[in-house]
């Protein structure tokens, strides 16, 4: 069962990709619907989410006659069966095999799967393995054991699959950064006090008006080292990027998010300095035009301000929208880039 906030967002967007994953119960009318139901949206306080129609019926609700939530389409059944097969498989499954089980051609099945999940079957399997690896790295005693526990055939396959991804080195995922060294400093800038922190892979935190306590909360088991000779050179690059914004794609990053968040962050880094995008344009750029709020949430989950330029995203109509460190800093950044 997905989180209530995500489910409610899917209902507001009438996102068909969530049909079959849960049903929406409306307590005041006594009915339950698909997430994509075209009926008028109920008040949030009158809604409860159920894993399926059986659970909703057990709560005394009846199916909506407009969207027929119990009539799962052939495409939905095929996608749900493929997801179950991918999750149960010990090795990646071929597209042809998944399509054959549904009696679809591989190309048609790939389109159907992507329409419902936002990913191809192969990308879905890779994202699933990466999430399993992240979880296993938090639980297992060694990185190697965690990689095998996630379903990879060996460490080399793990690193090949994750090459080019924004993401902390596996050792930094374990137990709040246990075994990792993070260098940090707080410096004064024209935007205020700025915290910069980095592992040996790249910048893992850039924020304003924060200090060591913020790092301890995120990496409680890491070794936090203030300053450092090698770190000083990277720090100078970061300060220059903030004071004279331009193309700072050369500055290495060490961050981790979900597959969707990382896709949003990559698009943010593609926005040229001096330009802005709306939240709707950002969602469209990652191939999920209806996921405007989700794109906004991914934008807000950015841990590396400026270098992943979430300040370049504004509301449709020109409003600044939100910013974790205050609209005054966002306004100043945009003014710097406009010059």
Beta pairing class for 23-26 and 31-33? antiparallel
pLDDT < 70: residue spans in the chain:
1, 17, 72-73, 90, 116, 118, 130-175, 246-247
Helix-helix angle 106-117:74-88, to 10 degrees: 90
In CATH terms, the fold of domain 4-63 is DNA Methylphosphotriester Repair Domain (3.40.10)
Q: Where are the domains of the chain?
A: 4-63, 73-163, 180-339
Element at 194 (helix H, strand E): strand 192-198
Catalytic residue ranges: 33, 310
Architecture of 180-339 per CATH? Orthogonal Bundle (1.10)
- State the Cα–Cα distance between residues 244 and 158, nearest whole angstrom: 38
pLDDT of 1: 60
pLDDT of 255: 82
Is it true that 73-163 and 180-339 share their CATH fold? yes
pLDDT of 164: 47
In CATH terms, the fold of domain 73-163 is Arc Repressor Mutant, subunit A (1.10.10)
pLDDT of 297: 84
Please give the full DSSP string across 203-241, using - where no structure is assigned.
EEEEEES--HHHHHHH-TTSEEEE--HHHHHHHHHHHHH
pLDDT of 41: 92
pLDDT of 24: 96
pLDDT of 150: 56
């Amino acid at each position: 069962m997905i989180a209530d906030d995500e489910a409610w967002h899917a209902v507001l967007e009438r996102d068909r990709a969530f049909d079959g994953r849960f049903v929406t119960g409306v307590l005041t009318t006594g009915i339950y619907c698909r997430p994509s139901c075209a009926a008028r949206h109920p008040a949030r306080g009158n809604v409860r989410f159920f894993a399926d129609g059986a659970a909703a019926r057990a709560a005394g609700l009846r199916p909506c006659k407009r969207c027929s939530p119990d009539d799962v389409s052939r495409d939905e059944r095929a996608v749900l069966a493929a997801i179950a097969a991918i999750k149960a498989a010990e090795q990646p499954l071929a597209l042809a095999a998944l399509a054959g089980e549904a009696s679809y051609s591989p190309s048609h099945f790939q389109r159907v799967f992507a329409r419902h999940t936002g990913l191809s079957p192969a990308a879905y399997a890779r994202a699933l393995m990466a999430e399993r690896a992240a979880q296993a790295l938090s639980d297992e005693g060694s990185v190697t054991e965690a990689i095998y526990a996630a379903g990879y055939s060996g460490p080399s396959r793990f690193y090949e699959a994750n090459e080019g991804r924004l993401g902390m080195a596996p050792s930094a995922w374990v137990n709040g950064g246990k075994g990792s060294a993070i260098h940090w400093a707080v410096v004064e800038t024209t935007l205020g006090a700025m915290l910069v922190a980095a592992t040996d892979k790249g910048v893992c935190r850039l924020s304003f008006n924060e200090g060591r306590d913020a790092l301890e909360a995120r990496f409680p088991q890491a070794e936090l080292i203030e300053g450092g000779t090698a770190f000083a050179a990277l720090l100078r690059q970061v300060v220059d990027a903030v004071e004279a914004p331009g193309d700072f794609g050369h500055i290495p990053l060490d961050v981790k998010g979900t597959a969707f968040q990382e896709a949003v962050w990559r698009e943010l880094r593609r926005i040229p300095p001096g330009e802005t995008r709306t939240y709707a344009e950002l969602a469209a750029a990652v191939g999920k035009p209806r996921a405007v709020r989700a794109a906004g949430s991914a934008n807000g989950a950015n841990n590396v301000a400026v270098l992943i330029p979430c300040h370049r995203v504004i509301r449709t109509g020109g409003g600044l929208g939100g910013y974790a460190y205050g609209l005054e800093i966002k306004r100043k950044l945009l003014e710097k880039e406009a010059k």
